[in-house]
Structure 1
Amino acid sequence: GLVSNAPHQPVHLGSMGEAVKAQIRLHENRIQEGDVWLSNHPLAGGTHLPDMTVITPVFRRGRIVFYVASRGHHADIGGISPGSMPAFSRRLEEEGAAIRSFLLVEQGVFQEQALTALLTGGVTGTRALEDNISDLKAQMAANQRGIDLLLEMIDHYSLATVHAYMRYIQESGEAAVRRLLQEIRIQRGGSRELLASEPMDDGTPVALKLRIHEDGRAVFDFSESGRQVAGNCNAPVAVTHSAVLYCLRCLVHSDIPLNQGCLNPVEIRLKPGTLLCPSEHAAVAGGNVLTSQRVTDVVFKAFGAAAASQGCMNNLTFGDSAFGYYETIGGGAGAGPDWHGASGVHTHMTNTRITDPEVLEKRYPVLLREFAIRKGSGGQGRFRGGDGLVREIEFLKPLKAAILSERRVHPPYGLAGGQTGALGENWLIQKDGTSINLGGKNEFAVEPGDRLRILTPGGGGYGKKDF
């Protein structure tokens, strides 16, 4: 199982281990030294198609002793919209190249010709092939650096010692989570069952029944969540595993690395055909970036840990046949029992930086007209929710754009008497001054002089405000 995972992108935490396991199941007896595998498919531990996972086996004296993997979000991987984050996709194939397993490097030889054919086929091929190839080579290099350091450690301490310490890391993670769950059970007066539910903007519920046992085991039962949807907010199974692992790590007070041990005391139940366990060909672009946030909302709500944060990543894409650009926009963080929520930040399942204004305007045909805190959008309470952001972009040439967002209908909840955060808003302001409400999910054409104005949600407040 997973030994260690960089904490930068929480949505990848529980899914990285599943991606490696999927390749082992497919190729365990055929993996050779010098092979590198590529995958992004939801049924192979993937999250959504732009997240490409590169997996390299670590050989020592002719046998595999570990696997090293890296995952990166590619700015375009094909599909019906530039940026590969379509607002209205209905099938997985419309979102780009779906790769269950591809031998990226075979015994040391990079398979560029086969990779090019793979990425340029489908509904619409990638608009950024050179970037894809460069990024994949960078991921391979990152893996190789990890392998070099790992083998150096093995040479110094011995394989048996390294294995022993890695088992200890996983055991420590398991023990910490068991203690946490036992403490929560005691704090709730021995109550064994916690319930929570939150709707997506289309009304589809994400529902959790959490049962904690006396020995520190827990069952996270999401089977009462709504059915799979026709759009792309379906979340691959690996996404829910990542969300639960992230929430547990946040609640554990000791300093432990993120690893499979944290999930060993936990059983996650998902019902096939639902939003959190969709069918093979279901569209999933929004499940990774939107539904994942609702899962964290529901878990933290069940524990009573904090008010809801913005619950969204505010995914913006624009481009044409020659390029695709993608960014996510921060919002307000939820308040807690003894803290105010932070303003203008990413929370929970994402942690991405946004493009510097100077770089954005130099590389793309746009002007950044406003980027500011959305004052007063955080929920009131004894502790205030964080404020969202205002981001306004003017387009300088005809382009196709898309927005994929949530919390435009149902606001981020407050807790313990705290108020909800403000809803997000998406507006297209045309050159003649006409303002069009885009709703939460839309695709649209823009002309020179048109502006897109995005107001991101605020976080929920905590506790009743003292007057």
Structure 2
Amino acid sequence: PAAINSYINYTRAYTYFAVKVFCDPFSPQNAGAMRPIRLVAREGSFFNPKFPAPSGGRAALQVRIFDTINGAMAQAMPERAMGAFSHWSNPNIGGIDDRTGKPYVFYDLILAGYGGRADSDGPEGLSPVMNCSNIPVEVHETNLPVLIHRVELLDGTGGAGRHKGGSGLRKDIELLAGEGVLTLLGDRHESRPYGVFGGEPGAVGETVLNPDGNGERLGSKEIRTLKRGDVLSIRTSGAGGYGTPGE
């Protein structure tokens, strides 16, 4: 029923990426590097949908594609595996700023932790499978009708392990315009990012509207209308750990 369908070209891209990370991470990415990889996805599934299946939310699957392959490849190449990623959140708010009469679009990517690895804890505040970065607070506040109340790592959300998973990230955003339409695209509000080789899973994420009052929990994928003064609190999941804690 939702637009979370990954057309085969999108599935293919993140499959190639995941396999290359394990098998040949430093050589050029070209047709020769991809030729040995065979992709099989049942037609009509959300990894290979048929027109007119909607796909506007397909980005939510990019991390899941990698995590699925990572979990399988870990059994053969444990030295290159890691716990599952923290999943990112992609909130967008659009409308007319009633103070200026001009339209605006607030677009954000909230990127958190990597899973624990064979030789180190998972790093934090990084893009998982695409070349993006956290957007500076100053850029948003200078150009858009928003006030960022906080950006902080969520201690204790990364899965425990010999090497712990990276922490989730919290970002609280207040709308200063009169009204705006919010769209949310995220994941891992219900299922925890897995750990590997005895590592524990990361904590689930959550999204809360007006957390300082009678906060309302929102879904990871939702459309809502916000009013001036509403505060959106995004809290991503933590990443999975690697190895048994205390080893």
TM-score in terms of structure 1 length: 0.48
Are 2:80 and 1:309 aligned?
no
**Structure label with greater radius of gyration:** 1
Corresponding position of 1:327: 108
Cα pair 2:165 2:240 within 8 Å, conserved: yes
CA distance in 1, matches of 2:23, 2:73: 12
| Partner in structure 1 of residue 51 of structure 2 | 280
- Residues 364-409 of structure 1 deviation map (CA, whole Å, 9 limit, x = unaligned): 1110100011111100011100001110011112111111111111
Question: Distance in 2 between the 1:434 and 1:275 partners?
Answer: 37
Q: Does the Cα contact within 8 Å between 1:248 and 1:262 map onto a contact in 2?
A: no
- Displacement, 1:286? 1.6
Q: For residue 360 of structure 1, report the CA deviation from its aligned partner.
A: 0.8
C-alpha deviation, 1:442, in angstroms: 1.1
Which residue in the other structure is 1:242 paired with?
13
Match for residue 384 of structure 1 among 164, 189, 205: 164
What is the alpha-carbon distance in structure 2 between the residues aligned to residue 444 and residue 438 of structure 1?
A: 9
Distance 1:250 1:277 in 2: 23
CA–CA distance in structure 1, aligned partners of residues 132 and 182 of structure 2: 20
Q: State whether structure 2 residue 181 is matched by structure 1 residue 400.
A: yes
Separation in structure 2 between the aligned mates of residue 267 and residue 254 of structure 1, nearest angstrom = 18
Of 97, 119, 122, which residue of structure 2 is paired with 1:341?
Answer: 122
> 1:421 maps to which residue?
202
1:412 and 2:193 aligned: yes
CA 456–399 in structure 1, closer or farther in 2 if over 3 Å, else same: same
The separation in 2 between residues aligned to 1:244 and 1:404, in whole angstroms, is 21
Conserved 8 A contact 2:166-2:238 = yes
Whether the 8 Å contact between 2:43 and 2:50 is mirrored in structure 1 is: yes
Q: How many residues align?
A: 234
Could you say which residue in structure 2 is the equivalent of 1:292?
A: 62
CA pair 254-232 structure 1, distance change in 2 beyond 3 A = closer
Aligned AA (1:309): F
Q: What displacement does 1:362 show?
A: 1.5
Match for 1:317: what amino acid? N
CA contact (8 A) 1:430 1:449 kept: no
Could you list the per-position Cα deviations for residues 264-284 of structure 1 after superposition, in whole angstroms to 9, with x for gaps in the alignment? 112111111101111212111
Within the candidate set 213, 217, 231, 2:2 is matched to 231
User: What secondary structure sits across from 1:276 in the alignment?
Assistant: coil
Does 2:225 correspond to 1:454? no
Greater relative contact order structure (CA < 8 Å, 6+ sep):
2
Supply the distance in 1 between the matched residues of 2:155 and 2:2 (Cα, whole angstroms): 33
Query: Within 2, Cα distance between the matches of 1:309 and 1:257?
Result: 24
Tell me the distance in 2 between the aligned counterparts of 1:284 and 1:426: 23
CA shift at 1:295, angstroms? 0.8
1:231 deviates by 0.3
Given residue 285 of structure 1, which amino acid in structure 2 is its aligned partner?
A: G
Kept in 1: contact 2:211–2:233 (CA 8 A)? no
State the alpha-carbon separation in 2 of the partners of residues 290 and 347 from structure 1. Answer: 12
The residue aligned with 2:146 is 366
CA positional deviation for 1:254: 6.2
Q: Contact 1:372–1:389 (CA<8 Å) still a contact in 2?
A: yes
What are the residue-to-residue correspondences of 1:8-407 with 2, within 5 Å?
A: 230-253=1-24, 255-287=26-58, 289-304=59-74, 305-310=81-86, 312-320=87-95, 322-348=103-129, 350-397=130-177, 398-407=179-188
User: What is the CA-CA distance between 1:232 and the residue it aligns to?
Assistant: 1.1
Distance apart, 1:430 and its partner CA? 7.3
Would the aligned equivalents of 1:430 and 1:450 in 2 still touch at CA under 8 Å? no
Pairwise CA RMSD: 1.6
| Rounded Cα–Cα distance in structure 1 between residues aligned with 2:24 and 2:37 | 18
**What whole-Å deviation, never above 9, does each CA across 1:1-55 have from its counterpart, x for those lacking one?**
xxxxxxxxxxxxxxxxxxxxxxxxxxxxxxxxxxxxxxxxxxxxxxxxxxxxxxx
List per-residue Cα deviations over 1:123-144 (Å, max 9, x = no partner).
Answer: xxxxxxxxxxxxxxxxxxxxxx
